[in-house]
């Protein structure tokens, strides 16, 4: 049963990705998605709340899940490179998806997906105790901070046409997150 649910989810995801190539996201209907996947409307709602939930599924499944093993082995730069490589592989889709604005924007959805991934990673690595010097620095606040910064890089890179290689974007992100603002100001 779990395999069937995954297959239907993937079929719905492929249908949405295909539609986004031809139709503005806001005009895509659940019926169009289900017709493309060869399932009935009820099946869609057995898997997803709405098309935004399906979009989050695509980001989690295709962009974030593949980096789990790398993160678990502290291979952070390789994980970043894989994220950007996977985005670039499906460039046409993500260049259109990044245009989704307003409530449930692509930017909002991707930030939440990155936050969920970081919460899992931070929770696994955390002792669970508050920070000794800064108790307000919680796992949640750190995950939100880094999710927002990572998401900024993802969105900016997609909107700028993905002209910089995935490896270089990973290098730049690593450079920025491993230095303080003060260090960067000194290096300018």
**pLDDT value at residue 95:** 96
> In whole numbers, what is the pLDDT of the chain averaged over residues?
92
Does 138 lie in the same domain as 64?
yes
Q: d(Cα 73, Cα 69) in Å, to the nearest integer?
A: 6
Q: How far is CA 159 from CA 57, 69, 84, 113, in A?
A: 21, 28, 13, 19
The answer on pLDDT for 171 being more than 70 is yes
Report the number of secondary-structure helices (H) and strands (E) in the chain.
11, 0
Average pLDDT, stretch 67-90? Answer: 94
Does 106 lie in the same domain as 42?
no
DSSP line for 97-159: HTT--STT-HHHHHHHHHHHHHHHHHHHH--SSPPSS-TT--HHHHHHHHHHHHHHHHHHHHH
Does 98 lie in the same domain as 55?
yes
CATH number at residue 148: 1.10.357.10
Does 73 lie in the same domain as 164?
yes
Does 85 lie in the same domain as 175?
yes
Among residues 10, 33, 48, which one ends one of the domains? 48
Among residues 48, 64, 85, which one ends one of the domains? 48
Structural domain containing residue 1: 1-48
How confident is the model over 102-136, as pLDDT tens digits?
889 999 999 999 999 999 988 887 777 777 788 88
Q: d(Cα 138, Cα 117) in Å, to the nearest integer?
A: 16
Sign of the dihedral defined by the CA atoms of residues 143, 127, 71, 68, in that order: negative
Does 42 lie in the same domain as 75?
no
Phi, psi values for residue 183, rounded to 5°: -65, -45
CATH number at residue 40: 1.10.10.60
Closest C-alpha to 109, from 156, 159, 52, 61: 52
Least confident of 4-18, 88-102, 109-123, 156-170: 4-18
Alpha carbon 138 to chain centroid, angstroms? 22
Q: d(Cα 133, Cα 119) in Å, to the nearest integer?
A: 21
Does 90 lie in the same domain as 171?
yes
10 Å CB burial of residue 54 (0-12, 13-18, 19+) is buried
Does 57 lie in the same domain as 109?
yes
Q: d(Cα 170, Cα 153) in Å, to the nearest integer?
A: 10
Does 57 lie in the same domain as 42?
no
Q: Which pLDDT band holds residue 98 (cuts at 50, 70, 90)? A: very high
Does 44 lie in the same domain as 68?
no
Does 90 lie in the same domain as 33?
no
Average pLDDT, stretch 85-90? Answer: 96
Does 61 lie in the same domain as 89?
yes
How confident is the model over 54-68, as pLDDT tens digits?
999 999 999 999 999
Placement of tokens 């696994």 in the chain: 124
User: 99 near 21, Cβ under 8 Å?
Assistant: no
Number of domains in the chain: 2
């Amino acid at each position: 049963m779990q395999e069937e649910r995954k297959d239907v989810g993937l079929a719905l995801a492929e249908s949405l990705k295909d539609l986004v190539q031809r139709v503005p996201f806001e005009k895509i209907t659940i019926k169009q998605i289900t017709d493309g996947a060869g399932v009935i409307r009820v099946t869609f709602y057995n898997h997803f709340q709405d098309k935004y939930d399906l979009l989050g599924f695509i980001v989690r499944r295709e962009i974030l899940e593949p980096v789990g093993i790398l993160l678990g082995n502290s291979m952070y730069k390789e994980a970043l490179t894989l994220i950007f490589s996977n985005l670039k592989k499906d460039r046409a889709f993500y260049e259109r998806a990044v245009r989704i604005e307003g409530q449930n924007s692509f930017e909002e959805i991707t930030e939440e997906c990155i936050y969920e991934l970081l919460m899992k990673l931070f929770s696994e690595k955390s002792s669970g105790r508050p920070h000794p010097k800064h108790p307000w620095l919680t796992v949640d606040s750190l995950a939100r901070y880094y999710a927002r910064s990572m998401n900024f890089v993802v969105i900016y890179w997609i909107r700028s046409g993905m002209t910089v290689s995935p490896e270089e974007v990973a290098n730049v992100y690593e450079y920025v997150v491993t230095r303080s603002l003060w260090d960067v100001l000194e290096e300018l």
